[in-house]
Amino acid sequence: MRKILVVLAFTLMLASCGGAAKPSTDINVTMTDFQFSPTQFTVPAGKEISVSSSNTGAVVHNFVIMKLGTTAGTEFNDEDIPNVYWEVEIQPGGSVDTSFTAPSEPGEYEVVCRTPGHLQAGMIAKMTVVAAEE
Query: Rule CB under 5 A: which residues touch Cu ion?
Result: 61, 113, 115, 118, 123
**Residue 131 to residue 7: CA distance in whole angstroms:** 29
**Residue 98 to residue 37: CA distance in whole angstroms:** 17
In whole angstroms, the minimum distance from the beta carbon of 26 to Cu ion comes to 21
Q: Which is nearer to Cu ion, 61 or 129 (CB)?
A: 61
In whole angstroms, the minimum distance from the beta carbon of 127 to Cu ion comes to 16
Largest Cα separation within the chain, whole Å, is: 59
**Residue 80 to residue 64: CA distance in whole angstroms:** 11
Q: Which is nearer to Cu ion, 39 or 101 (CB)?
A: 39
Please say whether the dihedral angle defined by the alpha carbons of residues 56, 108, 70 and 47, taken in this order, is positive or negative.
Answer: negative
Q: CA 6: distance to chain centroid?
A: 34
Q: Which is nearer to Cu ion, 102 or 115 (CB)?
A: 115
Grouping H, G, I as helix, E, B as strand and the rest as coil, residue 13 is helix
In whole angstroms, the minimum distance from the beta carbon of 30 to Cu ion comes to 12
In whole angstroms, the minimum distance from the beta carbon of 129 to Cu ion comes to 23
Q: Which is nearer to Cu ion, 53 or 115 (CB)?
A: 115
